[in-house]
Every structure is written in C-alpha cells, then in structure tokens.
Chain A
Amino acid sequence: MYSDQKMESQMGSLLRAGVVTSCAIILIGGILYVMRHGGERESFAVFQGVPAPLESVRGVLGQARAGSARGIIQLGALALIATPVLRVVFAVYGFARQKQWVFVGISALVLALLAAGLVAG
C-alpha cells in the first residue's frame, strides 16, 4: 500500500532537491555575473524588458549552454519555476498509485493551468 506518509515524504524530498539544485545554478551564474560584469552599471530603474533570448525557455537554454552568466542565472530561475510544477506531476502519479481518481483529476487540472501559464505568456 502506497501510504499518504510515503507520498508526502517523497514530495518533500522532491521539493528540497529542486530548491537546492536551482539555487546552486543561480549561485554559479551569480559568481560568473559578478566576475564578468561586476564593474558595469546595469540599471533597473526604467523598464525595458530583458533581452529577447532571456524571455523564453528555448532562448534561456541556448544562452546557458553558451556559458552566458545571465543565461545561467535565468536557467536557475526556470529550474525554480519547474520545481512546484514537478511537484504537481508527482501528485498525479502519487494519487494514481493510491487509486484516488478524483485527486488525479484535480492534480491534472492544476497541471493544465500551470502549462497554460508557461505556454501562453
């Protein structure tokens, strides 16, 4: 029997792993950012939006692969956003193992809403 306790414990581990991984990526990107761009003066006083490649998942992956400091920080931010999404994916799986179909449906609906936010923009 797949108990609630077992599911909650695994869910907790998943959240922790997600946060630790994301923050580690942001820290690496942050160190590179300070080393390479530390002497520059980036201003956030007037809103212009960030450069286009940093606004999409595909663009961020490309920037991070190219070793851009900002791209790596943004990759960490994406990993952070993905953490609760993965937690909902895990809930679909966990409730399915428990054969709690109402909650499989509820979790799937939440997942659809999250996907809508990521795709629509």
Chain B
Amino acid sequence: MTNVLFSTLVFAGSLVAGFLGSLTGLGGGVVIVPLLTIAFGVDIRYAIGASLVSVIATSSGAASAYVREGFSNVRVGMLLEIATASGALAGAAAAAFVPTAGLAILLGVVLLFSAFAPAHKEDMKPKAAPDPDSLGARLRLDSSYPGPGGMVAYTVRRLPLGFGMMGVAGMLSGLLGIGSGAVKVLAMDLAMGLPFKVSTTTSNFMIGVTAAASAGVYLHRGYIAPGLAMPVTLGVVVGSLAGAKVLASAGSAQLRILFRVVILALGVEMIYNGWAGRI
C-alpha cells in the first residue's frame, strides 16, 4: 500500500474512532490500538506509540474547555497525577518486558471493561455530609461545580483508595498507550464519591499528563513513528471536534450503543489474537 493510501485510510478510521469516542465520552484512544493492529496489520508497539500521541491531543483539547467552565477539579487532578504519572512510568518501563501477546490480551480485557463502563449518569443529591477532619477537607479538595440549577457543592472521600486506583490507571496507560479514562472515572465517581460530571472532566484533565509521562519513554524506544502518528492524531482530533458538535443531536443514543458493541467485539478479537499468538 502506498503511503498516500495508507495515510488516507488510517486518517478515515481514526476520524470515526475520535467521533464515536467523543460522542460516547469513552474517548477514541481505546479503539486506536485494536484498529491499527487488526485492520491495518500494524505492529502493536507502533500502534501504542501513535495512540499515546493522539490521546494527549484529544484529552488536552477537551480539557481546555472543561477547565475554563469550572467542571474539572484542578486540585484533585494535580494530586492524583502523582499516582497516574508514577504508574505510567512503571507501566512504560514494564512494557519492554511484557510479550506483545500479553499486551494484546490485557488491552482486550480493558476494552471489555470499557464497553460496560457508564458514560452518562444522573447525579443524586450530595453523597455525604462535609467532614472538616477528612483529608479531602484539610487539603481543600472539596469544591463545587456548575449544575443545571446553580453551583453544587461536593466533598472528596476515600482519597487513599482513589489514589491507589489511579496508580493502576496510570500503569495501564503506560503499558497500552491508552488514556484509561474508564478506570479514572471509576476511581473518582465510585471510590471517591465525586459527582459524575466532575469525575469525567477531571479524568480528561489528567489524561494528558498521564500520557506525557510515558511518551518520553516511548519516544526513546522508537515507538513513535511519524508516518503513523500523523494520520492517527489528525484523524482523532478532527473526529472528536465533530463528535462534540453533534453530541446533543438525535440519533446519538443508537450510535453510543453501536460504539459499545464495536468496543466489545474489538476486545474479544484482541484477546483471541493474543491467545492465538497472532500479535
């Protein structure tokens, strides 16, 4: 395949991935590696490098709006980035010793998990009363966010548990070149009791730093191939922008279900390929 054709097809595939990823809130990054390895026969290491670069672009782009609008909790994000960045460094270092079949199976498991992760959720009333002695209160992590009917205050609970889960999210990100948004949201929403909207936007805010921590390691190892990273990054960015535009329009509910089915199928395919030793 000539480079013009290859770039065009990869751009188109990444555009669809970015579009569906931003529409569903799951991010396009999680399907880039399976798309490149399964549909284009790309070595998983080049795929991981290209995916990581595209993940920084989409998460930072989306975060720029969320931070300004006051949804992301910058203090919580910065504190938890200690865990995700450490995990990402460990994951990137470990990736050199994990066989590619192992990476494929692990990514398959993350895909299956992501397919069932919630992307939209109505927040109930405050989940817990403020506790002035909690770690969250002492570090001034408790905050408020703009809800439909004005500012909604919330508190941060179980910080150590959330911190530990973020370490795992960072490790997966460093190993697989994904943003691990689904695990980050789980840590903040379920473990730390943050409102869902704050969890997803703070996750987005953190993904860039998590990915940047392992990107340096991947650059030095030669995983970031310009001829591949170019169409992937440009495609995912254009697709995400388009997805954000049609987010509220009719028909997006069916597309969200479709995307989950695609993620599920890719997850099964990755596990099968890894198991059969074809990756």
Contact = CB atoms under 8 A, between A and B. Distances in A.
Interface of A: 4-5, 7-9, 11-16, 18-19, 22-23, 26-27, 29-30, 33-34, 37-42, 44-50, 54-57, 69-71, 73-74, 76-78, 80-85, 87-88, 91, 100, 102-103, 106-107, 109-110, 113-114, 116-121
Interface of B: 1-4, 6-7, 36, 40-43, 45-46, 53, 56-57, 60-61, 63-68, 70, 72, 74-75, 78-79, 81-82, 85-86, 88-89, 92, 139-140, 208-209, 211-217, 219-231, 233-234, 237
Contacts of B219: 55-57, 77-78, 81, 121
A50 B74 contact: no
Closest 10 CB pairs of A and B: A49-B222, A121-B220, A84-B208, A118-B216, A12-B68, A73-B226, A15-B64, A38-B4, A16-B64, A113-B85
B53 A80 contact: yes
A56 B43 CA distance: 21
A50 to B, nearest CB: 5
A88 B209 contact: yes
Contact of B229 (A41, A46, A73, A114): A73
A11 B88 CA distance: 23
Given A55-B222, A74-B224, A45 B216 contact: no
B46 A8 contact: no
A74 B229 CA distance: 8
Contacts of B78: 88, 91, 103, 106-107, 110
21 contacts: A8-B67, A12-B63, A16-B64, A18-B60, A23-B233, A30-B230, A44-B40, A44-B43, A45-B42, A45-B43, A49-B221, A55-B221, A77-B224, A78-B219, A87-B208, A102-B139, A106-B78, A106-B79, A117-B92, A120-B89, A121-B217
B3 A39 contact: yes
B1 to A, nearest CB: 7
Given A81-B212, A121-B216, A39 B2 contact: yes
B224 A26 contact: no
B74 A114 contact: no
A116 B88 CA distance: 11
A73 B230 contact: yes
State the main secondary structure of chain A at its contact with B: helix
A12 B213 CA distance: 20
B213 A114 contact: yes
A82 B117 CA distance: 30
Contacts of B79: 103, 106
A14 B229 CA distance: 23
Contact of B60 (A37, A84, A102, A110): A84
B contact patch SS: helix
Contact of B230 (A9, A33, A44, A110): A33
A82 B208 CA distance: 10
Contacts of B45: 47
B43 A46 contact: yes
Contacts of A113: 82, 85-86, 89, 213
A25 to B, nearest CB: 10
Contact of A50 (B36, B60, B226, B231): B226
B97 to A, nearest CB: 15
Contacts of A15: 60-61, 63-64, 67, 208
B231 A30 contact: yes
A13 B67 CA distance: 9
Most buried by B among A7, A30, A102: A30
B64 A26 contact: no
A56 B82 CA distance: 25
A23 B57 contact: yes
